[in-house]
Amino acid sequence: MTMNIQWNAKGYTQNFSFVHQYGSDLFSLIEGQGLSVLDLGCGNGALTHQLRQAGFDAEGLDASPELLETARELWPDVPFRLGDAADFQAGRHYDVVFSNAVLHWIDPDRQDAMLRCVNRALKPGGQFIFELGGYGNNALIHGALEGAFTQQGRTYRMPFYFPSIGQYAARLEGAGFKATYATLFDRPTPLNGDDGLYDWLRMFIKTPFQGMDSAEEEAILREVVEALRPALYRDGVWYSDYVRLRCRAVKETV
């Protein structure tokens, strides 16, 4: 949400639909029917659309013009707007702010600003329902990337924020929320195609390669794929070693 990344919206929609398919599991944490919902970091709008189909008054906000263009094409009846998760002004107060697979993209030093924005956007007693990469997420993948960068005499800089339950609960409380549910769980996730891991790396690991020539980047990616083959390639399918942090928090009324 806050990184300067240009998304391949078509490739994301075609090859990484598991992101929103798993996200629909979060709907069960929403307490109440027909509520107003802001889908924060809505991406291509698939979950915003599903929220509306489930009877919620949902609209989406995202920082990517490319993904919003796709969202508006796919779901022309759903309201979408451009905005930064850590610096947005809501035009109304919502019963629920919902977010799937987004918050780990926000730099640690902007997390508290994001939570304050969410708090301001909610009605008193409103619900913040979200899932992000948690502590240990893609540890094998990022470890292999760090090793490959080191072999090239480079430093790998982690582009994501993967907190523990305790770390994030403290942030929530500091921003005026009461955490009512939190779980950290492993979710090995199958990736599409014979080049599933390579394609995943191309889609999601961008900022560490900024300023690097294409030949060196390609060499690192191929090295990482081969290093991870024994651990993440099983029975003809590539997997990513996801760990997810799923939470429900309520805006304090005092």
CATH superfamily of 9-135+160-191+239-251: Vaccinia Virus protein VP39 (3.40.50.150)
176-226 per-position pLDDT tens digit: 999 999 999 999 999 999 999 999 999 899 999 999 999 999 999 999 999
Q: Supply the pTM of this predicted model.
A: 0.90
* C-beta of residue 51 within 8 angstroms of C-beta of residue 13: no
Per-residue confidence band for 22, with pLDDT thresholds at 50, 70 and 90 = low
Reply yes or no on whether the pLDDT at 49 is more than 50.
yes
112/132 Cα distance (integer angstroms) = 15
Residue 20: count of CB within 10 angstroms of its CB: 20
Q: Which amino acid is at 30?
A: I
DSSP 67-132: HHHHHHHH-TTS-EEE-BTTB---SS-EEEEEEES-GGGS-GGGHHHHHHHHHHHEEEEEEEEEEE
Reply yes or no on whether the pLDDT at 17 is more than 90.
no
**Every domain of the chain and the residues it spans:** 9-135+160-191+239-251
Reply yes or no on whether the pLDDT at 21 is more than 70.
no
* C-beta of residue 133 within 8 angstroms of C-beta of residue 205: no
27/50 Cα distance (integer angstroms) = 9
231-251 per-position pLDDT tens digit: 999 999 999 999 999 999 999
135/177 Cα distance (integer angstroms) = 21
